[in-house]
Amino acid sequence: MRRAAGFVRLLLAFTLLVGCATPRGAPGAVTDLKPGERPALDSDEAGLWMAVTRVETSLKTSGHVVADPALNTYVQGVVCRLAGPHCDDIRVYIVQTPHFNATMAPNGMLQVWTGLLLRADNEAQLAYVLGHEIGHYQRRHTLQAFRDVRAKANATLFFAALTAAAGVGYVGSLVQLAVLSSVFAFSRDNEREADEVGFELMVRAGYDPQEAAKIWEGLLAERKAMKDSDPSIFFATHPPTDERVATLKALAAKTVPAGEPELGRERFLAATLPFRAVMLRDEMRLRRAAATQLVIDRLLASGAGPGEIQFFQGELYRIRGDTGDDAKAIRAYETAVASGAAPPETSRSLGLVLMKTKENVRARAAFARYLELQPNAQDREMIREYLRRLD
């Protein structure tokens, strides 16, 4: 019995970790979150925290988080530049998934999905999105939304949406996202407020506020290219109103940065370029060529590592396989190779398309080049088989 009693105490400690007494609401004005602040144990806010703590635990063990220390240090660094005294309260999780999303939970868990890192041109654009999320966090918008929704007796749906919004790299069907946005989409007022806070943080940290509108423009262009058929979890929670870009531009126009506004392009590229190939490969696997083409266009325009981008341009054509795509793919691969910095896979892909178009001599040369560049390629035996067939 004595052994059991000690155990029972520990088991009850479990209870405190996972459960709280019935939360009481605290109606009235919601004040800004202070650094290091924790909600009272029996408050509704604590209930909210507990719900997301569960999500955070499963996120940590999900296997979808990018563990690389350098990338994590970099993103955490940007967060801290923006968040100042709140820096210690915010935990960054980089989730490997090609969808665009950044989401901050009320307890300080910040997810940054790699689809976002692929689409930002520079640190200033990343800072806008992160600053916006920090704005929601500081102003406790999630708590406000919860109280509003609870007043309308929709609390259970809210939690489901919260869990979904904090879900790991998973976008879900259009129907599910519609449910999500009907409950969890931030109101226009909250969005405006988060943009204002985000701007303030951006500017205080020295970033160029004109970059904010650009990342939205990119997202809206992708949505248009996919004719609205592409589920976007970011849009579900941050409604892409027409006025948003105009508002961001107006905010930028009236903001006077102190000193020389930064883009932080070099730092951003240094941190993200090592992952770009993986991020692009994940993007390609989504098989949504119209949107991916816009991503590629932006990356080509930015000029960093064109060999790699031209390779993926070629991949887009090769995999899409419409009339005329074979020729376009070949041109893209050859441009990549000519740049001198194409990934070795370029020659393999080139070989595959040339083999398909029956240009055997050129195909052989491409495959041979691939094997020369990557003698330990995982598919070297199959490439040698192609070479034999082309003989």
Partner 1 sequence: MIRPLGLLMLVSVVATGCAVSLIEPKPTTIDGTYTVQPQIKWASVPARKGLEVWTVDGPALEAVTFVKGLGDGEALMKGPIPGAPDEDKRPKFRAQMTPSEIVELVTDSYVLFGAQKLETSSLRPAKFDTTDGFRFDIGWVTRSGLEMQASAAGAVVKGKLQMIIYSGARAHYFPKYRDDIERVFGSVKLL
Partner 2 sequence: MDDRRRWCIRLIATGLAGILVSGCVQTTASRTEVWQRIPTTARVVLMTPDIELSELTAGGVLEPKADWTERAKIHVVEALSGVIGAKNANLVPYRAPENDPAREHEHNQLIKLHDTVGRSVLVHHYGQLKLPNKDGKFDWTLGTDVRVLREDVEADYALFVFMRDTYASAGRKAAMVGLAIIGVGLPGGVQFGFASLVDLKTGDLVWFNRLVDPQGDLRDPGPARSAVTKLLADLPL
Among 20, 155, 168, 263, binds partner 1 (CB under 8 A): 168
| Residues linked to residue 191 through DSSP beta bridges, in sequence order | none
Residue 11 contacts partner 2 per CB under 8 A: yes
Q: Which is nearer to partner 1, 78 or 180 (CB)?
A: 180
Give the HSE-up count for residue 197: Cα atoms under 13 Å, Cβ half-sphere.
24
In the region spanning residues 315 to 334, those forming contacts with partner 1, defined by CB under 8 A, are 319, 321
**Binding at 155: pick from partner 1, partner 2, none (beta carbon under 5-8 Å per type):** partner 2
How many residues can be counted in the chain?
A: 391
Among 80, 286, 387, 390, binds partner 1 (CB under 8 A): 286
d(CA 66, CA 348): 28
Interface mask toward partner 1 for 287-306; x: CB under 8 A: x-------------------
Interface mask toward partner 2 for 26-55; x: CB under 8 A: ---------------------x--xx--x-
Residue with tokens 């997202």: 219
DSSP code string of 8-77:
HHHHHHHHHHH--SPPB---SPPPPPPTT----TTBHHHHHHHHHHHHHHHHHTSS-B---HHHHHHHHH
Residue 61 contacts partner 1 per CB under 8 A: yes
**H or E segment and range at residue 321:** none
Helix (H, G, I), strand (E, B) or coil at 179: helix
Query: What does the buried/exposed string (b/e) look like for 105-120 if buried means 16 or more CB atoms within 10 Å of the residue's CB?
Result: bbbbbbbbbbbbbbbb
The side-by-side arrangement of strands in the sheet containing 91-95 is 91-95, 109-113, 102-104
Among 32, 266, 372, 385, binds partner 1 (CB under 8 A): 385
Residue 376 contacts partner 2 per CB under 8 A: no
The residue range among 14-22, 128-136, 162-170, 252-260 that interacts with partner 1, by the rule CB under 8 A, is 162-170
Among 45, 83, 96, 141, binds partner 1 (CB under 8 A): 96
What is the rounded (10 degree) CA torsion for 70, 75, 78, 82? -150
- Identify whether the C-beta of residue 230 lies closer than 8 Å to the C-beta of residue 173: no
- Identify whether the C-beta of residue 52 lies closer than 8 Å to the C-beta of residue 106: yes
Residue with tokens 């960054």: 92
Residue 18 contacts partner 2 per CB under 8 A: yes
- Smallest separation, CB 378 to partner 2 (Å): 24
| Residues linked to residue 111 through DSSP beta bridges, in sequence order | 93, 103
Residue 3 contacts partner 2 per CB under 8 A: yes
- Smallest separation, CB 19 to partner 2 (Å): 3
d(CA 138, CA 108): 10
Among 355, 364, 370, 371, binds partner 1 (CB under 8 A): 355
**DSSP tag of 86:** G
- Identify whether the C-beta of residue 184 lies closer than 8 Å to the C-beta of residue 166: no
Residue 69 contacts partner 2 per CB under 8 A: no
Residue 173 contacts partner 1 per CB under 8 A: yes
Among 28, 63, 259, 340, binds partner 1 (CB under 8 A): 63
Q: Which residues contact 344 (CB under 8 A, 6 or more apart)?
A: 370, 373, 374, 377
**Binding at 290: pick from partner 2, partner 1, none (beta carbon under 5-8 Å per type):** none
Residue 10 contacts partner 2 per CB under 8 A: yes
Residue 62 contacts partner 1 per CB under 8 A: yes
Q: Which is nearer to partner 2, 10 or 256 (CB)?
A: 10
Among 23, 106, 135, 167, binds partner 1 (CB under 8 A): 167
By CB under 8 A, name the binding residues for partner 2: 1, 3-5, 7-8, 10-15, 18-20, 47, 50-51, 54, 61, 63, 67, 155-157, 159-160, 162-163, 175-176, 179
By CB under 8 A, name the binding residues for partner 1: 58, 61-64, 96-97, 164, 167-170, 172-173, 176, 282, 285-287, 319, 321, 348, 352, 355-356, 378-379, 381-382, 385-386
